[in-house]
A and B are shown apart, each in its own frame.
Chain A
Amino acid sequence: MSRLQYTLWRLIGIVPVMVLITTFAFFLMRAAPGGPFDKEKALPPEIEKNIRAKYHLDDPLIVQYGRYLFSVMRGDLGPSFKYPNRTVNEIIVESFPVSLKLGLLAMCFALFFGLSAGVISALKQNRWQDYTFMGFALFGVSVPNIVLGPLLVLIFGLWLGWLPVAGWESPVDAVLPTITLGAIYVAYISRISRAGILEVLGQDYVTVARAKGLPQRIVVFRHILRGGLLPVVSFLGPAFASILTGSIVVEKIFHIPGLGQHFVQAALNRDYTLAMGTVIFYALILILLNLVVDLLYTFLDPRVRYE
């Protein structure tokens, strides 16, 4: 099978998965108690009836499901129930770039520091560099961003006054959210890359490379890193997806107008279409990123075949 055929196959495979996810999202959302138009003060029955009719909420559930599935398949995620006159598509198009930018920043931050720490730790195994970095990594994995964020705000925003505590206007606003969001991935990536490299270090072909009299630089970059960092690549797809979805908390802490904010609000407000739309959108991103990683693998590891 050629690479193109393989890619096409995988793309076709996305359709049934998306149908399943849409189905789950739809029924789970409806299974949650309450509805989009519940207020503390109940609406007069006739007004509520009108609203429900407008959004077709008075149809049988299975009809609503069919209609929703059909419109999702055409790429239309429907109107928001809470933001009148705005569609879910519009909201995603407007707010996702903010989340994406934050996610990319966090990812670059995580890759740079995670890889450096992991590579150095592995090459200096069981020496002080290793212990220091892995100590930090353990710290990074253990502290959730819901703790780290406010802590950083407290230290750098309030006590030292170096960085803004919240907002999303100037580039310095991005510093603390990026660190908060990326810290745990710095930790993960450093641990994964360290383990991967240590495994390669024990391989015969690394000894062979040394026996060829190659300079250390070539041994490390050509022979050790290539195989040692493959596990990081397979981690990156899911990691990036969860950085994008994980920014929910960070966006909340730092008041960043990203998609995560809308997701949380939509779930709390029972804004059915927005919540489902966000879930479906995130799912699609996760699937696509995994596909990208698998394709990347075929370039990086010649042993991988398309089957």
Chain B
Amino acid sequence: MRSIQKWMPVELVMADSLLVVDRLKSYIYTRYGVVRAVNDVSFELAEGDTLGIVGESGSGKSMTCMSILGLLPQPFGKMVAGRIRFRNEDLHTQSSRQMQQIRGKEIGMVFQDPMTSLNPFLTVGTQLTEGYVVHQQVAKQEAWQHAIDMLDKVGIPEAEKRMLSYPHELSGGMRQRVMIAIALMCSPALLIADEPTSALDVTIQAQILELLKSLQRQMKMSIILITHDLGIVAATCKQVIVMYAGRVMEAGSVDDIFYRPKHPYTIGLLQSVPSLEADREKPLQPIDGNPPDLMADIQGCPFHPRCAYGDAACLQEFPQQRTATTGHSFYCCKDVE
């Protein structure tokens, strides 16, 4: 029977989700205690879609993505539970060699800070081509030509000349374009962009986001966009998950999250963002307090101490998943409108 399965067309075996993250838990074991960086996070990403992961610093957004790539900080980080399925293969059971094949080739990643993400000792050309040479098993000249095309594609003028530049000779926006070109060299099916515009000027931000969107259309890839900027999410994403203290608070389509938020945290986030339509006289509403210490043993809902609706019931246990509409779920025991 095995042989029959082998010969089945790939399309029939594959589910339509490119990436399924199922009850993922990743902990960081520090000298001072265990940080529950990612705590029971689940989401799905269909081919060609864009998923936004929103949350404050330390909410576990980046660690979720590092878990997907198998790049949790070593030797302290460990994925302790859950499953990550990419193209119907369980990433956690892959050998480190197989993970190397997936990283950079199937899943590309763009990091937050273009100033520190490029190796200062190597030329742009070397940094663009090295992954391609390894994954595609091609000669250096071929990779070089492909890299020039890629630099062209991300809008870097005089690409051929730039290949020989060192990172310090480029501006921040240019460097981030180079980072994107690096991530896209092997035409990955999934691009993870971890705060790709946070370190850039606002005008450059818009350019980079436009670039990502147009490249996504051209190359038909899925994107996970990690950000703390709700404006970026609204402009680029289809699905959104809102994270807090390592947990998913609310998940849904962009419209669900922006127009029909159910979780007090999401509502608080939306109220703390200035908007053109809002009453100018009305002050912005910050969320008081600070995120909890992830090393502490958190009872119940982690947002409870900062929540306007919190009461004793919230301390009992972490709230069950509730569904507002199909595809829109949230974790709160209160009914908030």
Contact = CB atoms under 8 A, between A and B. Distances in A.
Given A211-B103, A212-B130, A302-B168, A227 B120 contact: yes
Contact of A213 (B104, B119, B166, B168): B104
A223 interface: yes
A213 B121 contact: no
Given A212-B130, A302-B121, 19 more contacts: A204-B113, A205-B117, A207-B71, A208-B109, A208-B117, A208-B119, A209-B119, A211-B69, A211-B71, A211-B104, A212-B131, A213-B103, A213-B105, A213-B131, A213-B134, A214-B104, A218-B130, A222-B122, A226-B122
A215 interface: yes
B180 interface: no
B290 interface: no
Nearest to B135: A213
Given A213-B103, A213-B105, A301 B134 contact: no
A213 B71 contact: no
A203 interface: yes
Interface string A165-189: 0000000000000000000000000
Contacts, number: 76
Contact of B109 (A211, A218, A303): A211
A219 to B, nearest CB: 10
Nearest to A124: B75
B103 A208 contact: no
Interface in A242-289: none
B121 A227 contact: yes
A126 B182 CA distance: 33
Instruction: Please classify how large the interface on chain B is, using the bins under 10, 10 to 19, 20 to 34, 35 or more.
Output: 20 to 34
Interface of B: 69, 71, 75, 99-105, 108-109, 111, 113, 116-122, 130-131, 134-135, 166, 168, 179, 182
Contacts of A222: 122, 130
A214 B134 contact: yes
A215 B100 contact: yes
A213 B120 contact: no
Nearest to A206: B119
A300 interface: yes
A303 B168 contact: yes
A208 B118 contact: yes
21 contacts: A203-B116, A205-B118, A205-B120, A208-B111, A208-B179, A209-B119, A210-B103, A211-B103, A212-B103, A212-B130, A213-B99, A213-B134, A213-B135, A214-B104, A214-B130, A222-B122, A222-B130, A226-B119, A226-B122, A302-B168, A303-B168
